[in-house]
Amino acid sequence: MVIVYADSALGSWLKDTDHRVKATPELGLKDQCEGLPWHFKVLSASLKTHAIGGKTASADDHLCASLGALPIEGQTTFSASTAEPEFSLENDVSQKSGGALNGEITVFAPARFEYDLKGCQGIDTGDPITTCAKAFGRNAGGNGAWQIGFSLDAASKDAENATLTWALDSPAVGFVDADDAVCNVQEIWHGLTPGKNEQQVPLAKLAGTEPVTLTFTGDSQFAEDQGGRPATLAYDWTYSMVIQRVDETGAPL
């Protein structure tokens, strides 16, 4: 749909016999409604997740049980947080052809994994299988940064609520390539339940120009791994982001 409007005026019917518009008309086109897209600056962002899980010594699907009659268990703690405010024109919310709003607000933040594992050792060396416990940490990603944030969807710019879909990995403890270095704690994981990473927020809260604090917490528990084999796995998370609508240069409105 194209809306045409003008600020020219016709001359008086009584005094002017030439009623044509004077001057050269111009047609300006915009591909967005007034006020859109919304640009956002991320003032701060953080994410912390914790997963804890295990399998018994009687399980037949991990090495510590089959070779040493030992259980495995582990904890994985992930944390990421920004150090400075960040602005990018990619962090915006725009209106699509059908009128729906859509956008993504994310940042790359320094991140780290901390592991606490209990399993077995001796499999690599051929020594007697004995218990093993190790705690260590590793930076996340190739450069120690992890993308955190959310995508936004709303039926229209006048909708009551928007759906935020937060970036969350599925819960997991242990490693796919398990060896003595990680106590042979083989990976225990389960896909996050669909919809668990979604949150409803008032759209008006995001449409304002003041800083907005968003928090999102949740948890999940499973009695089996993704393959349906007996296991314990619990997962919880805490997100916090402070964002603000700004102009296309990153300045407050």
pLDDT, tens digit (0-9, with 9 covering 90-100), for 68-116 = 999 999 999 999 999 999 999 999 999 998 999 999 999 999 999 999 9
| For the chain, domain boundaries | 38-246
Locus of tokens 């009695």: 223
pLDDT at 20 over 80: no
Separation CA 200–CA 140 (nearest Å): 29
Best CA proximity match to 118, nearest among 70, 46, 66, 50: 70
Residue 231 and residue 55 in contact, taking contact as beta carbons nearer than 8 Å: yes
Q: pLDDT band for 15, please (50, 70, 90 cuts).
A: low
Distance CA 4, CA 8 (A): 12
Do the beta carbons of residue 220 and residue 234 sit within 8 Å? yes
Strands 188-189, 172-173: pairing is antiparallel
- In this structure, the number of other CB atoms found within 10 A of the CB of residue 11 comes to 13
- Distance, in Å, from the CA atom of 163 to the CA atom of 147, rounded to the nearest integer, reads 19
Q: What percent of the chain has pLDDT over 90?
A: 82
In the beta sheet, which residues pair with residue 199?
Answer: 164
The larger pLDDT score, comparing residue 231 to residue 18, is at 231
Q: Which of 40, 7, 52, 9 is nearest to 222 (CA)?
A: 52
Q: What is the average pLDDT across 196-203?
A: 98
Predicted pLDDT of residue 141: 79
Maximum separation of any 2 CA atoms in the chain, in Å: 110
pLDDT over 70 (residue 179):
yes
Give the three-state DSSP class for 206: helix
DSSP 8-state secondary structure symbol assigned to residue 253:
-
